[in-house]
Amino acid sequence: QQPVQSPQAVILREGEDAVINCSSSKALYSVHWYRQKHGEAPVFLMILLKGGEQKGHEKISASFNEKKQQSSLYLTASQLSYSGTYFCGTEIGGNTGFQKLVFGTGTRLLVSP
């Protein structure tokens, strides 16, 4: 059930672009994206609620392809502050009827000067 992210790790120079992919073997109804810096808590970036939706957050944007059961996070003109581990998350219904968030495998991003 856990979404799989690719690549597992990426190293960029400041100003370069990157794409992080999140794929699920099950139907996706929404996709969350979080960033976690080393030693800190995950921070919410954005949520995509329907297929075809695209969102942007400064130079970070994401797309959601419901048919392909995948989402991509785009980081443009990366900054040092973008370094961290990026997690996608998908909502799955539990047996109590309550939705729970399952995080993807994670992608470690390092931006160097």
Partner 1 sequence: DTEVTQTPKHLVMGMTNKKSLKCEQHMGHRAMYWYKQKAKKPPELMFVYSYEKLSINESVPSRFSPECPNSSLLNLHLHALQPEDSALYLCASSLGQAEYFGPGTRLTVL
Contact 54, 63 (CB under 8 A): yes
Tokens of 60: 């970070």
Burial class (CB in 10 A: 0-12, 13-18, 19+), 113: exposed
- Alpha helices by DSSP H, listed for the chain, are none
**Quick one: 49 or 77, whose CB is closer to partner 1?**
49
In this structure, which amino acid lies at residue 25? Answer: S
- Answer for which of 4, 19, 29, 42 binds partner 1 (CB under 8 A) is 42
- Answer for which of 20, 28, 84, 104 binds partner 1 (CB under 8 A) is 104
- Answer for which of 1, 67, 98, 113 binds partner 1 (CB under 8 A) is 98
| Total site size for partner 1, rule CB under 8 A | 20
**Under rule CB under 8 A, residue 84 binds partner 1:** no
**Under rule CB under 8 A, residue 25 binds partner 1:** no
CA distance 76 to 68: 23
Shortest distance, CB of residue 112 to partner 1, whole angstroms?
20
